[in-house]
Amino acid sequence: MTHSEDVRKFLTSRRARITPEEAGLPANGGNRRVTGLRREEVAMLAGMSIDYYIRLERGNLSGASDSVLEALGRALKLDDAETAHLFDLARAATASPRVRRKRSPRTVRPSVQRVIDAITTAPAWVRNDRGDVLAANELGRALYLDLMAEQTTPPNRARFTFLNPKAREFFADWERAADDIVAVLRSPAGKTRTTRTSRT
């Protein structure tokens, strides 16, 4: 059962169990087609429009305020446990969906490796947003000899910078190198937070 179905089943069952007399409304003789309250009656008792109540009963509790939920609880004569359940349903509807972070690439296409290998007068390498060195040309491997010699695959510049004592000897300005790799790592994290905020 989906979340929307849970909400719909809960609200319709609570609406069906309350008679008009219990809600202080006229019974209107034998003209009623439902045993409980009509949607428009619940909306009136809760002080909201019928369209808004229908939206709620169809399972869309997202964005419903505490005052709306409290008014709905009073209109449906919910007890404490039922009111708590209604608030739980609303929280579940409002919670932002978990953003699945795109995985960092772990390899490069052969064509990229060929381009890098064709660079023979300067060191060249390709890294992902985690600092993994995915490919390098001959001069790049020679320049980062200690990094490339690490047992982890692929070699990771962040791990090398902060955990390998040789990094302080390798980088002429270790503090700047450390700041640079931290900036590299923060960039994808910031994009993930922005995506989550925009979906809330």
135 pairs with which residues across the strands?
A: 126
Portions of the chain given CATH number 1.10.260.40: 3-94
Confidence of residue 188 (pLDDT cuts 50, 70, 90): low
How far apart are alpha carbons 146 and 168 in whole angstroms?
12
Topology classification of domain 3-94: 434 Repressor (Amino-terminal Domain) (1.10.260)
Is there a contact between 116 and 102 (Cβ–Cβ < 8 Å)? no
Query: Helix 80-94 to helix 3-16 angle, to the nearest 10 degrees?
Result: 150
Tokens 């503090």 appear where? 175
Confidence of residue 107 (pLDDT cuts 50, 70, 90): confident
pLDDT the model gives residue 95: 63
How far apart are alpha carbons 9 and 88 in whole angstroms?
15
Q: Of 49-63, 140-154, 183-197, where does mean pLDDT reach its minimum?
A: 183-197
Residue 46: pLDDT over 70: yes
DSSP string, 138-197: HHHHHHTHHHHTSSSSS-BHHHHHHH-THHHHH-TTHHHHHHHHHHHHHHHHHHHHHHHH
Confidence of residue 101 (pLDDT cuts 50, 70, 90): low
Residue 101: partners with Cβ closer than 8 Å, 6 or more residues away: 188, 192
Is there a contact between 73 and 45 (Cβ–Cβ < 8 Å)? no
Burial class (CB in 10 A: 0-12, 13-18, 19+), 180: middle
pLDDT the model gives residue 1: 55
